[in-house]
């Protein structure tokens, strides 16, 4: 046993082994120094919790290193044909195979140990606020043992078992792929901090995932789910409960597989078919004697047609071997299983969100997110197998003796391309089957075309480079190792960290959105340009390889090279059009300079915008819009204003800006500029600012999710991009970046105003007159009441007005279908995509119920109409958002969810109730002062209204089930942020303002009664609506006035603990 172990380990002590040591350590160093996976503010990057799950994620690398070692070690004798005589040596089979497993395990673990050492070193080279300055070796050793060693045993055990029982290298690759699949599927139900917030799973699902996850991360997350912030920073996740059970089960399962494999191993296992199969029969013709036969002249035909036939011959052999192999079908089933689990999860959406319709877009999005990465490494292995198959069997001696042997690489490339297309079409077919199963037969060819463009085509390009690498390296396993590194650098998410220039990431896939409004949009053509650029690079590489091999250059090759360079130039310039990039350091420098120069204006009097008249010209086909606007500015400070700080957003082009005060006009030419007035603007006086701005985005830079002007289904929170007056604390380097602030010599950042700070009651509401124009055929939805619409010069114009609203407005534009209804004098309009009609009637009915409840309990509705407008999935950051008289909703949440499907998740009722209630709690009635606790008066109150409406529709029991979900969300997320009492909650802690707020308000209604609480809320609203600016202490005072001392003492803890 020991000689086998030592021999195997020594065999890797070659230059290639030393290179592997450098690469693995370098990868770990890079991961530790660059990866910024944070789970919450206040949790250190090198905390016990973060280091543990990062080490757990890194154990996924064991699959790849283990697969490579298994291919080399477990089949070493067979590849060298030494398995035919090894039985004659003194070594016994059990000792031999145990020694082989130990060398396999030791080498695989050593690779992970190198990564872990590099990760530890890289992470502790970092500095900054996110790092704990004290190094704790136990934080790294503990996960190395409980996750690293156990996971290595599991990976090696599975691959070892497959090697012994199948005697097939492809089966080993499939085993590695299966482990990756199980890991990804388990993560969906793991309750991990990255997934549970969006898609909370039931506790039962989390327990099952914790038990069955082969890598133990689900159990790790489950065991640490109740940790506080301090515990995550300082306490190791204990090896107990589900975590211990998982680790024991994994060890027992691994040892069981190893024991079976050792017991079943036999030296002759690989040669069972040598003596018992069909015998080779040699047939001789009596009249064909080579001694007496005449001479034969063979005329070779080297025409181009025959080279094509030779390529097809190589393809035929490769595909025949592939399609006859059971392993190929196992790979297909594995991919179908993996994608199927992901598709089902995308449809089902867990316990919080209702089932999605199984549209072609959802199927394609899910396939795009799951198909590419496994197939990258599958391509690496398949190319290696295809290219080296004849070399291993020594048939390459015959191949290389033929004239057309030089086309072998091309044949292998076509073969792997064909296999990749088979995989792609199988997944597309699976998507169609899911559509049929879930009764959504409407097929969208554009969506499935994206599967080929974003996955198959880049994989084909990658395979071209991989074939070239294998052809350039003289040995199989070094070629495989180099190919793995190449694929990892250029075709995985790692490429984004390594290459800032997105044009160079032409071998990576696409995981962006798909919208029924306009498909993949401009990203599809942009991606094709990048693929064509990559094709040009591949052509050049193949030409260079061919020239170095043949030392010949002819006219055909010159023409092809000219075409390749032309393709690189044309496709590259087309993709790169409009590129703009600013490094993180440049952004920090700009923010630091802004703060140093202008922070004094934080305390200087500045005028307030009191009225805005604006025209917004939308050009969806150009991804552009133009803003023309006029501000009415008024000095409300009680002091003269002698200088004004103007801020124009850097993302927009400033075309014109003229400030007029006291009949004198001044032109503004800079995005950030201080204008000193020749005569101060006295208190109560007004001035004007006329401006024109232009915005256009290009796919190379990506779109801003809140500023998505697109071909159809646009949405812009456009008030964010209008000029701002005075100092903007949002432009500062964040206070969490203390190291960066110290680097630029800055003191503390502007913080959230303390709850106890004196009230100022700023009068900053505006009168809005907004005219929006868009292309003919589209409808523009603005903020406020629609007062006029008309057509002119093939454009459609809409005028909206609103009085006394916050400086907060938005616009959408799309080819809408509209449905109207009237309820108690209020017009309800729903603007939606023509194929998303399923929930429109329900939305109108829920809106009526919400209006009735809020009007009865809180007071009159402040507008004459309410509009619901659907926007595309290219908009992100919210499910629904309310503006004066209009509510915008994303297509994938409200309009295209199958509410009738299962578990009673009525998202339509929830969103309608929640967002409509913001017309009382937020917008232009209760508009809290911007300080601690403000979101409680908007979001917590809106969540309460949502729960009461849910109770009236489905009953108290169903409502309490919803509250339990919020309890689960709160419990799972509270350990990732510093604790805050509800009455002092800040906007980033949504688990407090939404989930804990829901729990507190429902509990309050149970303690004092719903009707009584609603009366208190109504009184509070009447007393503190604009122009008053409420704070949470005002609400607590209102409770104190209306409750007995005993009641108040009992309920106050709901808000202050």
Three state DSSP letters for 295-306 = CCCCCCCCCHHH
Interatomic CA distance for residues 939 and 922, integer angstroms = 8
What is the residue extent of each domain of the chain?
Answer: 2-268, 307-520, 920-1056
Nearest CA to 936 out of 882, 978, 994, 988 is that of: 994
CATH homologous superfamily, domain 920-1056: Neutral Protease Domain 2 (1.10.390.10)
Instruction: Note whether 362 and 356 are within 8 A (CB).
Output: yes
Where does 546-651 show beta strands of DSSP type E? 608-619, 624-634, 641-647
Distance of CA 435 to the CA centre of its chain: 24
Nearest CA to 665 out of 691, 688, 632, 642 is that of: 688
List, for the chain, all residue ranges whose pLDDT scores fall below the cut of 50: 193-198, 271-280, 403-404
Q: What is the predicted pLDDT for the residue at 198? A: 43
Please tell me the number of Cα atoms within 13 Å of 643 on its side-chain side.
Answer: 12
Interatomic CA distance for residues 1020 and 1043, integer angstroms = 14
CA 271, 275, 277, 283 dihedral sign is: positive
Q: Is 439 left (phi over 0), alpha (psi -120 to 50) or beta?
A: left
Coil, strand, or helix at residue 506? coil
For the CA atoms of 145, 148, 150, 151, what is the dihedral angle to 10 degrees? 170
Q: Write down the residue that tokens 């030089």 correspond to.
A: 406
Within 457-520, residue ranges assigned H as helices are 457-472, 476-490, 494-498
Provide the edge-to-edge strand list for the sheet that holds 766-775. Answer: 664-667, 653-661, 686-696, 624-634, 608-619, 766-775, 795-805, 785-792
Task: Provide the token pair at 709.
Answer: 């002007």
Nearest CA to 597 out of 706, 744, 480 is that of: 744
Q: What is the predicted pLDDT for the residue at 193? A: 46
């Amino acid at each position: 046993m020991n000689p086998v172990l030592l021999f195997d380990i020594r065999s890797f002590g070659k230059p290639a082994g030393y290179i592997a040591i450098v690469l693995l350590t370098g990868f770990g160093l890079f991961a530790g120094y660059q990866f910024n996976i944070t789970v919450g503010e206040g949790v250190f990057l090198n905390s016990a919790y973060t280091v543990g799950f990062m080490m757990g994620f890194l154990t996924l690398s064991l699959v790849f290193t283990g697969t490579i070692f298994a291919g080399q070690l477990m089949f070493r004798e067979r590849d060298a044909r030494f398995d035919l005589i090894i039985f004659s040596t003194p070594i016994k089979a059990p000792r031999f195979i145990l020694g082989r497993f130990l060398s396999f395990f030791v080498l695989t673990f050593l690779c992970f140990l190198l990564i872990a050492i590099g990760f530890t070193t890289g992470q502790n080279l970092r500095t900054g606020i996110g790092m704990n300055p004290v190094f704790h070796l136990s934080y790294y050793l503990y996960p190395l043992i409980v996750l690293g060693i156990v996971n290595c045993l599991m990976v090696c055990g599975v691959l070892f078992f497959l090697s012994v029982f199948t005697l097939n290298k492809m089966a080993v690759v499939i085993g590695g792929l299966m482990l990756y699949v199980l890991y990804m599927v388990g993560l969906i139900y793991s309750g991990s901090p990255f997934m549970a917030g969006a898609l909370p799973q039931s506790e039962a699902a989390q327990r099952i995932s914790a038990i069955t996850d082969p890598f133990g991360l689900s159990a790790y997350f489950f065991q640490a789910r109740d940790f506080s912030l301090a515990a995550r920073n300082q306490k190791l996740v204990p090896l107990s409960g589900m975590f211990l059970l998982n680790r024991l089960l994994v060890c027992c399962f691994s040892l069981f597989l190893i024991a079976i494999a050792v017991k079943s191993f036999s030296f002759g296992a690989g040669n069972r078919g040598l003596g018992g199969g069909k015998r080779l029969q040699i047939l001789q013709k009596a009249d064909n004697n080579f001694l007496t036969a005449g001479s034969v002249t063979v005329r070779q035909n080297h025409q181009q047609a025959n080279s094509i036939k030779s390529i097809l011959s190589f393809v035929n052999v490769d595909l025949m071997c592939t399609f006859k192999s059971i392993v190929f079908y196992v790979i297909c089933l594995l991919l179908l299983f993996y994608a199927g689990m992901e598709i089902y999860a995308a449809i089902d959406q867990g316990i919080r969100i209702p089932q999605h319709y199984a549209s072609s877009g959802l199927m394609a999005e899910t396939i795009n997110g799951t198909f590419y990465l496994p197939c990258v490494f599958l391509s690496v292995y398949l190319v290696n197998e295809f290219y080296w198959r004849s070399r291993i069997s020594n048939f390459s001696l015959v191949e290389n003796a033929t004239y057309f042997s030089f086309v072998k690489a091309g044949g292998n490339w076509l073969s792997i391309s064909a296999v990749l297309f088979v995989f792609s079409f199988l997944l597309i077919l699976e998507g169609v089957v899911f559509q049929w199963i879930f009764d959504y037969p409407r097929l969208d060819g554009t969506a499935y075309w994206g599967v080929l463009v974003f996955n198959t085509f880049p994989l084909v390009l990658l395979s071209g480079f991989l074939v070239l690498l294998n052809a350039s390296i003289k040995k199989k396993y070094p070629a495989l190792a180099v190919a793995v590194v190449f694929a990892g650098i250029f075709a995985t998410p790692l490429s984004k960290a390594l290459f800032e220039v997105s044009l160079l990431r032409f071998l990576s896939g696409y995981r962006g959105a798909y919208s029924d409004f306009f498909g993949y949009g401009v990203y599809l053509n942009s991606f094709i340009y990048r693929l064509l650029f990559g094709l040009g690079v591949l052509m050049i590489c193949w030409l260079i390889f061919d020239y170095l091999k043949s030392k010949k250059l002819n006219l055909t090759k010159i023409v092809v090279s000219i075409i390749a360079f032309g393709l690189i130039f044309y496709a590259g310039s087309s993709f790169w059009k409009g590129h703009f990039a600013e490094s993180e350091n440049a952004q920090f420098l700009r923010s630091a300079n802004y703060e140093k120069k202008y922070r004094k204006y934080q305390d200087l009097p500045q005028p307030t915008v009191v009225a805005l008249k604006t025209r917004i010209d939308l050009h969806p086909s150009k991804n552009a819009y133009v803003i023309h606007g006029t501000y009415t500015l008024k000095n409300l400070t009680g002091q003269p204003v002698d200088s004004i700080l103007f801020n124009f957003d850097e993302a927009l082009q400033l075309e014109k800006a003229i400030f007029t005060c006291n009949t004198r006009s001044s032109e503004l030419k800079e995005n950030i500029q201080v204008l000193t007035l020749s005569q101060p603007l006295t208190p109560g006086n007004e001035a004007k600012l006329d401006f024109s701005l232009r915005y256009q985005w290009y796919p190379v830079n990506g779109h801003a999710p809140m500023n998505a002007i697109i071909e159809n289904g646009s949405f812009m929170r456009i008030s964010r991009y209008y000029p701002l007056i005075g100092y903007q604390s949002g432009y500062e380097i964040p206070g969490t970046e203390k190291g960066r602030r110290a680097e630029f010599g800055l003191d503390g950042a502007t913080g959230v105003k303390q709850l106890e700070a004196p009230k100022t009651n700023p009068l900053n509401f505006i009168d809005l007159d907004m005219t929006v124009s868009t292309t003919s055929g589209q409808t523009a939805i603005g903020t406020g009441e629609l007062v006029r619409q008309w057509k002119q010069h093939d454009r459609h114009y809409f005028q909206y007005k609103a009085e006394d609203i916050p400086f907060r407005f938005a616009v959408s534009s799309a080819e809408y279908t509209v449905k109207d209804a009237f309820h108690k004098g209020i017009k309800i309009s729903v603007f939606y995509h023509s194929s998303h009609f399923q929930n429109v009637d329900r939305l109108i009915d829920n809106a009526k119920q919400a209006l009735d409840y809020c009007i009865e309990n809180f007071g009159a509705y402040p507008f004459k109409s309410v509009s619901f407008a659907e926007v595309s999935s290219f908009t992100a950051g919210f499910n629904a958002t309310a503006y004066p008289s209009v509510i915008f909703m994303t297509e994938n949440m409200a309009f295209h969810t199958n509410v009738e499907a299962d578990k009673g998740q009525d998202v339509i009722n929830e969103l309608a109730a929640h967002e409509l209630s913001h017309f009382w709690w937020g917008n232009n009635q209760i508009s809290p002062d911007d300080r601690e606790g403000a979101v409680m008066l908007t979001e917590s109150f809106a969540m309460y209204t949502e729960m009461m409406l849910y109770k009236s529709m489905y009953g108290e029991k169903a409502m309490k089930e919803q509250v339990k979900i919020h309890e689960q969300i709160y419990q799972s997320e509270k350990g990732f942020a510093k604790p805050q009492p509800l009455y002092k909650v800040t906007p980033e802690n949504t688990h407090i303002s939404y989930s804990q707020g829901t729990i507190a308000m429902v509990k309050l209604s149970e303690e004092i009664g719903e009707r009584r609480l609603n009366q208190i809320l109504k009184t509070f609203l009447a007393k503190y609506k604009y122009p008053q600016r409420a704070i949470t202490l005002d609400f607590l005072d209102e409770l104190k006035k209306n409750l007995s001392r005993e009641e108040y003492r009992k309920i106050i803890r709901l808000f202050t603990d």
